[in-house]
Amino acid sequence: GAMTFFDVFNGDADGICALHQLRLAQPRDAVLVTGVKRDTALLQRLIAAPGDDVTVLDIPLDRNRGALLALLQTGVQVRYFDHHHASSPLPQHPLLQIEIDVSSAVCTSIIVDRLLGGRYRSWAVVAAFGDNLLAAAARLASTLSVPAATVAAWRDLGECLNYNAYGGSESDLVCSPAELYRTLAPYEDAQQFIEQEPVLARIRAARTADMVQALACAPEIDTAGVTLHQLPDAAWARRVIGSFANHLATSDWKRAHAVLVPYADASFSLSLRVPQIAGISAAAFCRRFGGGGRRIAGGCDGLPPEELPRVSDELIRSYPMSSSQDES
């Protein structure tokens, strides 16, 4: 039969904007495979045949390695773009093109932006803001001649797109990520999307209401080096965990910040943000508990309640104090 195209992407701002830039440059009609942000083992959902063509964006290779190797053995062509930690050696195969950069100031949309020579850069700026890479976003935005108010609107969009990906399942979300991608797919210009699509106002209103509730929660741990907030078992808490963690990191950047929230199966999710100069990266900390991430941001899913005391102890031990480096 005819070959099938698959576009497989994380449901957050970075995954959506990375795919969007790529498809503006190289349009194709593809089966979309995505989900909530924590659904990162997406490749195993594919039922692909020899000759099919798969593009993968912003999901960690380690969670998908077995499924990736199986696809390649089947005779499926794969392009893989990502910025999360990947164990070496990286797979090598004639049908595989791999673009992975784990530098701390890079997200998947920045990798795609490089590849496209900055053709749809407003969307890379949106994504970088969504991933809380504020300096990288500002640097990219400075290459475009746009007023500060536009950059602020792009930041709001990135934060809203990112917020919309957090939840236990798509029923927690304001809008499903696939639907959100389809809504913004026609827009080369992020500003036009912001002005014309009512879904953004719905997402922004929900995010604002959720943040008000999160900000009312007192921390369980509040030391010189780290805070830990435990949010209640509620859809709003599952939605806001990432936005809240980013807010804490941005407003108090000298300390590490952990946010916990329970899920339907009684397990917990952890969102962790740590200073750039912290002795232990967020990814390394989260890997101790079966999670992962990047230098300054990481997370764990499926933490059993009995692990929480150890999480607390290790946070206090790992992030004892803000750095003694010059505080400029």
Q: Over the stretch 71-109, which tens digit does the pLDDT of each residue have?
A: 999 999 999 999 998 899 999 999 999 999 989 899 999
Q: Which residue has the tokens 């795919």?
A: 19
Q: pLDDT digit string (tens) for 202-227?
A: 999 999 999 999 999 999 999 999 99
DSSP 3-state of 207: helix
Among 231, 181, 173, 171, residue whose Cα is nearest residue 207: 173
Tally helices (H) and strands (E) across the chain: 12, 11
Which distant-in-sequence residues (6+ apart) come within 8 Å of 118 by Cβ? 124, 143
Q: Can you list the positions of beta strands (E) in 191-296?
A: 221-222, 226-230, 256-262, 268-273, 292-293
**What integer pLDDT is reported at residue 322 of this predicted model?**
61
Is residue 16 scored above 70 in pLDDT? yes
Find out whether 282 and 297 touch, Cβ atoms under 8 Å.
yes
Q: Is the pTM of this model over 0.85?
A: yes
Q: What is the mean pLDDT of residues 156-170?
A: 95
Segment 101-143, tens digit of pLDDT: 989 899 999 999 999 999 999 999 999 999 999 999 999 999 9
